[in-house]
Amino acid sequence: MRLALKDRLINIIFILFPLSFILGNFAVNLNIVLFISFFLFDLARDKNKFYEENKTYFFISLIFIAYLLFNTLISNYFESENIIKAIFYIRFFLLFIAIKYYIEKDVIKLDLTFKYWSILLTIVFVDLLFEIINGKNLLGYSANIPGRLASFFKDELIVGFFLSSFGLILISNLISRNLKYAFLLLLLIFAVLITGERTSFIRLFLTLFFVFIFIDNININKKKLLTISISFFILFVGIINFSNISYFENIKKRYGIRYVEKDNWYSIGGLDFRSKPNICKAESCKGEVFDTTSNFYYKTHYGKYYLISKHILAENLFFGTGNKTFRVACKDYKKVLENIYKLTDPGCTTHPHQIYYELISEHGLIGTFIILILLFYLLFIPMKKMSLRTDIFKLIIFFYLISYFIPIIPSGSFFSTVNSFIYWFFYGFYTSKKSNMTN
């Protein structure tokens, strides 16, 4: 059946989402605006039925945006542009509602979408292998950090995040149709592993681990699946350990458990807990507060941002310094590193690289509570209308969304375009009434 022009445009925009992710924030936001523009046009004609069925999502979206506006207006670091950012965040809520709408209406042709996505993901995977062997990708890009890959993302080293996101949706859909595609998940794990992105790898691994634990499907032989998984794991480890490709030496260092001192600060490459490390004699490490193995973590760049976040919270207990203000507040609070802990200045970034430290520093205790309550409530709403443990596609999506809230491991800013886009994009699939993503 030939699609109407409008529906074809909607499908083209949806198919282009992974490519826009590669091109950058502007392309992502442009795609989102175009996609939700079509949705708002269609919603105006079909608002009564769809709105009644989904008014909870609309209501919570408005509460969330209202809170972001309130938090921005009372901020000690008020900037008028943050008001626009708070209001414009509504685009992500409209995105997931639009995805839900078009999937349930069968407007989006998912079979066609996944075919194009599979071509793009295959190209990216081949590009990774090319970069490992040649030191540069097909376009001549290379990462400036040993043990990392750039691929088509150039300076933004997020190819592992890209693969673990769109690759997971694609492969989960294949598995929901036929379990023989489960081996592709092992290939995906390997692909993300070799990018050197530890957070993406850990989140993907934990997602699949909990899916394996909670899945309740009579067609799945867990013992057989576990045996195959272990076999592939041994194969991957063997490739990394015994290959003569120099890149894999850097990969072993990134994932190895070891103690590293570099430029007078301590990397997160791993700490050797078998014995107490030597006390750092550098000027930046002269404080006695951190002269124990358990506290050495705070000498890392990320650890210093966490310390700054704690002190921001202490003085802005209820609502923090305001959404997306860490980059500004950090400049005022980073002096505590030198004055109290005798640590060097790590420089300020846009966020503290961990979701909970981001929330408590920018939103305080009350604001963090409001955000987490709304997000987790949204996660559990669809459960009333689905059998999650028997729906492998939805179960994988659910645990991937949960992985955003894993404590301890570093993460990007939740409110950034990249992270918010992927989160709410996944959530659109998760809320759809369809249990099998086929047309």
Which region among 40-44, 246-250, 266-270 has the lowest average model confidence (pLDDT)?
266-270
Mean predicted lDDT score pLDDT of the chain: 84
Side chain identity at 316, as an amino acid letter?
N
Q: Does position 229 have pLDDT exceeding 60, yes or no? A: yes
pLDDT tens, 132-161?
999 999 999 999 888 899 999 998 999 999
Cβ neighbours of residue 102 under 8 Å, at least 6 residues apart?
10, 14, 39, 108
- Reported confidence tier of residue 244, pLDDT bands at 50, 70, 90: low
The per-residue b/e assignment along 138-155, b for 16 or more CB within 10 angstroms, e otherwise, is: eeebbbeeebbbbbbbee
Helix (H, G, I), strand (E, B) or coil at 265: strand
Per the model's pLDDT, the better-predicted residue between 107 and 269 turns out to be: 107
Which region among 20-24, 119-123, 159-163, 205-209 has the lowest average model confidence (pLDDT)?
205-209
- pLDDT recorded at residue 391: 85
- pLDDT recorded at residue 242: 63
Q: Does position 247 have pLDDT exceeding 80, yes or no? A: no
Q: Does position 120 have pLDDT exceeding 80, yes or no? A: yes
Tokens 């066609």 belong to 112
Backbone dihedral region for residue 324 (phi beyond 0: left; psi -120 to 50: alpha; all else: beta): left
Cβ neighbours of residue 82 under 8 Å, at least 6 residues apart?
72, 75, 322, 323, 324, 325
Stretch (H or E) spanning 262: strand 261-262
Which region among 84-88, 282-286, 395-399 has the lowest average model confidence (pLDDT)?
282-286
Per the model's pLDDT, the better-predicted residue between 2 and 248 turns out to be: 248
pLDDT tens, 375-406?
999 999 888 777 777 788 999 999 999 999 99
pLDDT tens, 168-200?
999 999 988 888 888 888 889 989 999 999 899
Q: Is 250 within 8 Å of 147 (Cβ atoms)?
A: yes
Residue 228, classified by CB atoms within 10 Å of its CB into exposed (0-12), middle (13-18) or buried (19+), is: middle
- pLDDT recorded at residue 13: 97
Per the model's pLDDT, the better-predicted residue between 239 and 128 turns out to be: 128
Cβ neighbours of residue 6 under 8 Å, at least 6 residues apart?
38
Whole-angstrom distance, CA of residue 280 vs CA of residue 265: 9
- pLDDT recorded at residue 118: 96
Q: Does position 274 have pLDDT exceeding 60, yes or no? A: no
Which region among 70-84, 247-261, 362-376, 410-424 has the lowest average model confidence (pLDDT)?
247-261
- Reported confidence tier of residue 4, pLDDT bands at 50, 70, 90: confident
Whole-angstrom distance, CA of residue 10 vs CA of residue 71: 35
- pLDDT recorded at residue 160: 95
- Reported confidence tier of residue 27, pLDDT bands at 50, 70, 90: very high
Kindly list the domain boundaries of the chain, sorted by start residue.
280-355
Per the model's pLDDT, the better-predicted residue between 347 and 366 turns out to be: 366
Residue 265's φ and ψ, nearest 5 degrees, are -140, 165
